[in-house]
């Protein structure tokens, strides 16, 4: 039998607000952490995610095809067996489901997704991780890769590393901090990172820009950076030279709109 640990604030002492939100002690508030990684950013702007290219901003929700580049990622395989996918539908309502993998053969989701916000491995075989890249997308699937990619789980990661999040309808997102880092072997050229917001009007608006040369930039937003309902936030980067490793992290408080 588990025992609930009391909060310090229940005894008249203080406790950080963020910790209380993470513990589920603040009604209508959720803590959201988004992390992205791109191991090879070149001289064309790319989203901070493992695929390169950019995270799509579709105008209509679609049934997604879930597949892996490895035959080991299947219902009785040694790699990933089932995955959880969650996001928003065409009306920006929160939806999610569990999908059983079938190697390089696609398995359709039962729901239609406009954006993916969560994508991670639920169960595994003896390897303990997804052997191939697990993809979610639309169009023709070739060797486990869909023509249009919505999100992915890189090999062995067991979780998406996509610096992109869409705020569901009925909520407002508040970014309290963000971090952008970049590096390269030579360390002699810069990488420019962007924080961009995309709304239902499908217009990308820049919220922050930083330029680094083998380093990291931490942004603390006070007051928090506001992201309205039905809007997405994402990180992208471009290098002055090729072969840059880039990561981005967002810490959001998702607040339900009341009244």
Q: Positive or negative, the Cα torsion across 107, 113, 114, 118? A: negative
Predicted confidence band of residue 258 (pLDDT cuts 50, 70, 90)? confident
pLDDT tens digits for range 195-242: 999 988 888 899 999 999 899 999 899 999 999 999 999 999 999 999
Predicted confidence band of residue 32 (pLDDT cuts 50, 70, 90)? very high
Q: If you count them, how many residues does the chain have?
A: 259
DSSP, residue by residue, 228-244:
-TT-EEEEEEEESSS-E
| Burial environment of residue 137 by CB neighbours within 10 A (0 to 12, 13 to 18, 19 or more) | buried
Spatial separation of the C-alpha atoms in residues 18 and 215, rounded to whole Å: 27
Would you say the pTM of this structure is higher than 0.85?
yes
Spatial separation of the C-alpha atoms in residues 30 and 206, rounded to whole Å: 25
Q: Which domains does the chain have, with CATH numbers?
A: 27-54+164-256 (2.60.120), 62-153 (no CATH)
What pLDDT score was predicted for residue 18? Answer: 85
pLDDT tens digits for range 154-173: 999 999 999 999 999 999 99
1 has pLDDT over 70? no
pLDDT tens digits for range 88-116: 999 999 999 999 999 999 999 999 999 99
Mean pLDDT over each residue of the chain, to the nearest integer: 93
Spatial separation of the C-alpha atoms in residues 206 and 198, rounded to whole Å: 9
177 has pLDDT over 70? yes
56 has pLDDT over 90? yes
């Amino acid at each position: 039998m588990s025992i609930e640990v009391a909060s310090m604030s229940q005894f008249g002492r203080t406790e950080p607000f963020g910790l209380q939100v993470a513990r589920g002690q603040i009604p209508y508030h959720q803590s959201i952490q988004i992390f992205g990684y791109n191991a090879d950013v070149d001289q064309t702007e790319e989203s901070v995610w493992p695929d390169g290219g950019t995270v799509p901003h579709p105008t209509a929700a679609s049934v997604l095809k879930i597949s892996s580049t490895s035959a080991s990622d299947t219902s009785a395989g040694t790699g990933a067996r089932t995955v959880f996918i969650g996001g928003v539908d065409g009306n920006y309502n929160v939806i999610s489901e569990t999908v059983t993998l079938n190697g390089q053969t696609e398995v359709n989701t039962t729901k239609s997704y406009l954006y993916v916000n969560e994508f991670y491995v639920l169960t595994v075989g003896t390897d303990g991780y997804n052997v191939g890249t697990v993809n979610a997308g639309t169009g023709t699937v070739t060797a486990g890769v869909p023509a249009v990619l919505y999100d992915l789980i890189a090999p062995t990661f067991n979780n998406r590393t996509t610096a992109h999040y869409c705020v569901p309808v009925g909520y407002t997102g508040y970014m309290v901090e963000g971090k952008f880092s970049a590096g390269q072997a030579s360390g002699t050229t810069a990488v420019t990172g962007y924080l961009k917001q995309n709304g239902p009007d499908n217009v990308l608006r820049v919220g922050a820009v930083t330029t680094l040369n083998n380093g990291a930039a931490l942004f603390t937003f006070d007051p928090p950076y506001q992201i309205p309902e039905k809007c997405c936030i994402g990180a992208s980067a471009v290098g002055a030279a090729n072969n840059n490793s880039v990561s981005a992290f967002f810490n959001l408080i998702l607040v339900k709109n009341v009244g």
